[in-house]
Amino acid sequence: MLTAYEFLARSPKLLSENRCRAFQDGASHHPTASSHHTITSRLAAMKWMLAITTLLLTLSLSGCRSEESSQSLAEQTSRQQGAAVIGEILDTPTLFPPDIETSLQRRLAQEVVRGKTPGIAMYVATSDGIWMGAEGTANQETGTVIKPTDRFRIGRTTNLFVAVVYLQLVEEGILDLHTPIAEYLPPEISDRFPDSDTLQIRQLLNHTSGLADAYTNEFLNDVRAQPDRSWTTREILAYAYDLQPATVRGVFSYSSTNYLLLELILETVTQAPLAEVLQQRIQTPAGLTNTFLELREPIPGGFTQGYQDWNNNGTSENVTLPLINPGLGTGDRGLVSNATDLVKFVHALLYEDTLLYRSSLEELLSSTPRGAMEGSGLGITHLLTPWGEAWGQISSDLGFQSVVLYLPVHDLTMVLWVNEGDRQAVNLLEVAEDALRLILGEPKF
């Protein structure tokens, strides 16, 4: 696998490390040093806009970027120009050629026609434009047609949002990833987990803690007995108390316990609820208007209905209305969002440097092997596809499954999701691979 540095060197990042990251409450980072980023050949070809953009930048950004003296104005202009192009792409769809569009739509329809899922949606963004498609229903009871921009539970992709906040706090000198978790947790919690006095925050972030998963059979049986019960994060964590480690420390093993503990630590350090922290540090600066922590804050207009055989009775049923609550709204998998917001999030993180400095991004992408073809960074998955490396997350949550992929070599971001939570029903990675083959052609290696 490529190192994080090699990925960053190849990734078409369009803004410099010296960004202005402002939060609504007035707290912000102020860059202290500049860095030289590689300008992609695509941006270099846009020289005809440099004169106009240079004038605009001189007038509007002189205060914000006063410390970027080591960069040439042409470099800054090119990156700002590229960011504007990305913004236009997100707001103004440009379709693929008709034959590809038809084939993509047909591939989505196959999953619905075969009865594998009530609905399926795909959103693809490249430097040349976007394509959106959907098939099926968002609500089987009412027959409401599913739309590519509908909201859905994003499951484990919540991990990435939380990991970004942790790295922001490291940048601010508030946290150290190598600090034992026992320093941030009350003894009544930390003492119930093995060796918490040596277990580091970073090992929670990349799922190498070895901790057993709190979502035990006992917990799931309790959910089935009281499906509408409201759960606190501490109540869910109690199911992991005093359990033997799932694996040795340092080896990847996904455990919801990790991000449940990270939620508690984050709220202790910031003295604010997780929903507020995410809105202030991620959604607001990245311009995400359709991303919410379920049950912890209002979701105007709600979201798509999800379906699953949640109680193993052989029938897939609506698990969002009436609400089945297996610990919704937590730091592990609590966010509801939509494809447009997720693409904006990926671009803000990997393109625009809106959320993290370069050094922090390298830390985020430092990958721990979890198989021959994949690895795990901090809240993010690294995959080797037939078309090159990809970063993102593969997730299943109650009533939903999703794939979020960014292929830096092709400058392509894909969000694919279904409102069926049974992983045996739909193979989303297979659908994603078929879509990439249509878009990018047969792989050459």
Q: How confident is the model over 133-173, as pLDDT tens digits?
A: 999 999 999 999 999 999 999 999 999 999 999 999 999 99
Specify the pLDDT at position 444. 76
Q: Which two tokens stand for residue 120?
A: 């399926």
Q: Of 172, 194, 285, 283, nearest to 245 (Cα)? A: 194
Q: How confident is the model over 353-407, as pLDDT tens digits?
A: 899 999 999 999 999 988 767 899 999 999 999 999 999 999 999 999 999 999 9
Beta-strand relationship, 151-153 and 292-293:
unpaired
User: C-alpha distances in angstroms, 241 versus 96, 216, 221, 252, 259?
Assistant: 52, 11, 17, 20, 15
DSSP category for residue 279: I
Give the residues of the chain that fall short of pLDDT 70: 1-95, 372, 445
Specify the pLDDT at position 69. 30
Tell me if 426 sits within 8 A of 111, measured CB to CB: yes
Specify the pLDDT at position 47. 33
C-alpha 12/C-alpha 19 separation (Å) is: 16
Domain boundaries, the chain: 4-91
Q: Please report the sign of the dihedral spanned by the C-alpha atoms of residue 94, residue 98, residue 104, residue 108.
A: positive
Q: Which two tokens stand for residue 25?
A: 């409450």
Specify the pLDDT at position 231. 97
Specify the pLDDT at position 445. 63
CA angle, corner 267, sides to 261 and 269, nearest 5?
100
Specify the pLDDT at position 16. 35
CA angle, corner 419, sides to 418 and 425, nearest 5?
70
Regarding pTM above 0.85, the answer is no
